[in-house]
Amino acid sequence: MTENNYGVVILGSGIAGLSCALRLAELNIPSVVLTKREAINTASSWAQGGVAAVVASEDSFESHLEDTCRASSQSTNRKMARKIIEKGPVVIDWLSHLGVPFTREKNGKLALGQEGGHSYRRIVHAEDATGSHIMKALCAAIEKDSRIKIISNVEAVNLQLVHENLKLVELDDIHGNRHQIQTSNLIIATGGFSGLYSRTTSPARGTGIALAELIGCKITNLEFVQFHPTALFGENTNLYLISEALRGEGAILRDLKGNAFMKDFHPDRELAPRDVVSRAIFQKMTEQKNPYVYLDATQVSAEQLENHFPNILRECLKRGINVKQKFIPITPAAHYTCGGIEVDENFKTNIEGIYAVGECSNSGLHGANRLASNSLLEGLVSALYVASDINQSPVESNYQMTSHPHLTQQKHKQFCYQLIKGCKQFLWDYVGIIRTDEGMQFAINEIQNYIQRVDDKIGMKDPGNDLLRTRLRLKVSLSLAQSALNQRVNLGTHYNSDIH
């Protein structure tokens, strides 16, 4: 393969980006994957619960569709959701062939987990480390495929439309080099932005969404941020997730006095939609003036805990919590970005030759709230549609990469760190689980002020890439806060206490 033969550039190496590369290779279309860290180091590798897919004989696509729509308060795009859900069994088969060691029953059938909002057991999983197992299998398949090239440790800091048929991505590497890559077909697969909150389960920082917005991609539904109800409480901002599957197996939420409280909030109790459970926990934390409540898994059988949740047991034990005997202190944390770069039914954006897949996209599947384990499914399925769409017409390769030293790394490290830290707190405090008009307006003013401070420095000669990266993160935070203030209906994950 010659260097200039790559027909497609993929930004991001999570489940969505890597699946696109492999599906394109199956159609003999070569691609380059550009990624900020090592390829496997993504939010996708952190996924625990699994992939929602209709594989049980008693289950049906119709039921999965209805559960998806119900979780989103009927704001899901039904046509799109059906297209995605119907491909569930196909992608599970594909992953099994790639060697993903899905957990199975003694008779060899896939073991299916139960998660909130699902009417049937339909969560295909590999222990409680599904994402990690899938990512290992995808990376192994890519390593063997000469049609796919991965360039790691490069971070996109700028995106331009040179002309209708040519996009230019500018990236910085960790050695102080600037790379410029041009392409006709660009797939943005950069993940969501929940990692911009001060309490989060996710490493995602949203720069891909900010870059897309920069060149005029339509960005929608940013206000719908899903807060996972149960992250292991701790002092760090990145919190370890306690999978919903544990509540699926009978773990109970208790307040500081030990009272089970979900019965007061929803008939489905612990398995109510995530927005309901998160708000209930947040309300309890506020009433009891405590930064956490408890998850009690002591009544889940030891065998079940050991077989299904070995990583959760291990992580809790590291913090001195024996889950079999003790309650786990938990807090909600920003977890998933339901909105993002708007795409059509083939995951195409409004700009010719640009696609968006996975968590950075808004395909309409999740609407105002995502049903548990539908996101890995979406990332896997989107690749099928994108590859097939790109294959419809001859794939032009305008791929070109140029690199030159760029010695302005990390010039404003402390300045940028302080701004991002402040912004994360504004998002958690004012654009969080329960929002108010005044709070959101305050966050908007403060973030605008931060952006101005960055712009003043960017105006200087030779500004440094840390400023560019910080600006993108602040920009997406601002768009999120503005979308939240503009949303005048309480729906799904968005809750403004000033709206009745």
Ligand X SMILES: Cc1cc2nc3c(=O)[nH]c(=O)nc-3n(C[C@H](O)[C@H](O)[C@H](O)COP(=O)(O)OP(=O)(O)OC[C@H]3O[C@@H](n4cnc5c(N)ncnc54)[C@H](O)[C@@H]3O)c2cc1C
Active site residues: 274
Q: Which of 492, 483, 422, 412 is nearest to 454 (CA)?
A: 412
Q: Which is nearer to ligand X, 336 or 430 (CB)?
A: 336
Binding mask 54-93 for ligand X (x = CB under 6 A): ----------------------------------------
Q: Which of 25, 10, 61 is nearest to 208 (CA)?
A: 10
479 forms part of the interface with ligand X (CB under 6 A): no
110 forms part of the interface with ligand X (CB under 6 A): no
Tokens describing residue 130: 């599904």
Evaluate whether 410 touches 389 at the Cβ level (below 8 Å).
no
With residue 139 as reference, give the H or E element that holds it: helix 130-143
The minimum distance between CB 90 and ligand X, in angstroms, equals 16
Stretch that binds ligand X, among 29-37, 100-108, 137-145, 314-322 (CB under 6 A): 29-37
User: Torsion angle, CA of 156/192/294/102, rounded to 10 degrees?
Assistant: -100
SS3 assignment, position 247: helix
Sole binder of ligand X in the list 31, 48, 77, 198 (CB under 6 A): 48
The minimum distance between CB 292 and ligand X, in angstroms, equals 18
Q: Which is nearer to ligand X, 81 or 156 (CB)?
A: 156
The number of residues that bind ligand X (CB under 6 A) is 40
- Taken in order 10, 11, 15, 16, the sign of the CA dihedral is negative
Tokens describing residue 349: 């954006």
Binding mask 204-233 for ligand X (x = CB under 6 A): x--xx-------------------------
The Cα-based distances of 19 to 336, 358, 367 in angstroms read: 20, 10, 23
Binding mask 329-368 for ligand X (x = CB under 6 A): -------x---------------------xx---------
The Cα-based distances of 130 to 7, 38, 45, 135 in angstroms read: 31, 19, 8, 9
Residue 282, number of CB atoms within 10 A of its CB: 19
Stretch that binds ligand X, among 46-54, 141-149, 344-352, 430-438 (CB under 6 A): 46-54
Cβ-Cβ contacts under 8 Å for 180 (sequence gap 6 or more): 168, 169, 170, 171, 401, 402, 403
Q: Which is nearer to ligand X, 46 or 261 (CB)?
A: 46
Evaluate whether 157 touches 62 at the Cβ level (below 8 Å).
no
Q: Which is nearer to ligand X, 12 or 332 (CB)?
A: 12
Sole binder of ligand X in the list 329, 379, 439, 464 (CB under 6 A): 379
- Taken in order 243, 247, 251, 252, the sign of the CA dihedral is positive
With residue 94 as reference, give the H or E element that holds it: helix 88-97
Sole binder of ligand X in the list 114, 375, 487, 496 (CB under 6 A): 375
Site for ligand X in 135-194 (CB under 6 A): 155-156, 189-191
Q: Which is nearer to ligand X, 238 or 436 (CB)?
A: 238
Q: Which is nearer to ligand X, 374 or 483 (CB)?
A: 374
Tokens describing residue 26: 């199956």
Q: Which is nearer to ligand X, 48 or 496 (CB)?
A: 48
End-to-end Cα spacing for the chain: 60
The minimum distance between CB 37 and ligand X, in angstroms, equals 5
Sole binder of ligand X in the list 6, 13, 24, 330 (CB under 6 A): 13
Query: Cα(350)–Cα(341) distance, rounded to whole angstroms?
Result: 9
197 forms part of the interface with ligand X (CB under 6 A): no
Binding site for ligand X (CB under 6 A): 11-17, 34-37, 42-44, 46-50, 130-131, 155-156, 189-191, 201-202, 204, 207-208, 241, 336, 358-359, 373-376, 379
